[in-house]
Amino acid sequence: METPKVFESEYRFCLILWENEPIRSGELVKLCRERLGWMPTTTYTVIKRLSERGVLINENSVVRSLVSKEEVQASELDELVEKTFEGSLPAFIAAFTKRKDLSEADIDEVQEMIDRYRKEAKRD
């Protein structure tokens, strides 16, 4: 199943939801007012919109997500790589490493991820 699209302001809302779920919609309204400066109507509109797209569910005024933060991030990254780098992950990584200073620890962590992926791919 494809992960539903979550736009920037919706993502900021989802960060609050993921951190606090399951959460009553009234409490979510308060948190969105405090953290995002949203009016209650804005929060309820976003809840409705994300519910219609299958990102969250609102049952008996209790809101919980149907997709994880990791799923949304992976979907956004896939879209970025496809749109900007013609689907080439190596081109994305090359561009990223040219623009950002990576520490030895960052490089080691990325290498460990690649090594883990390679081991898992061999098992399949």
Averaged pLDDT of the chain:
93
User: Tell me, which fold does domain 8-69 have in CATH?
Assistant: Arc Repressor Mutant, subunit A (1.10.10)
Whether 99 has a pLDDT exceeding 80, the answer reads no
The model's pTM is 0.80
Residue 75, C-beta contacts closer than 8 angstroms, at least 6 positions apart: 2, 3, 5, 6
d(CA 93, CA 2): 24
User: What separation in angstroms does the CA of 3 have from each of 6, 68, 95, 98, 111?
Assistant: 9, 9, 26, 30, 27
Which of 20, 16, 9 has its CA nearest to residue 35? 16
- Condensed to tens digits (0 to 9), the pLDDT of residues 34-73 reads 999 999 999 999 999 999 999 999 999 999 999 999 999 9
Which pLDDT score is estimated for 101?
Answer: 81
Nearest partner of 16 among 42, 3, 34, 4, judged by Cα: 34
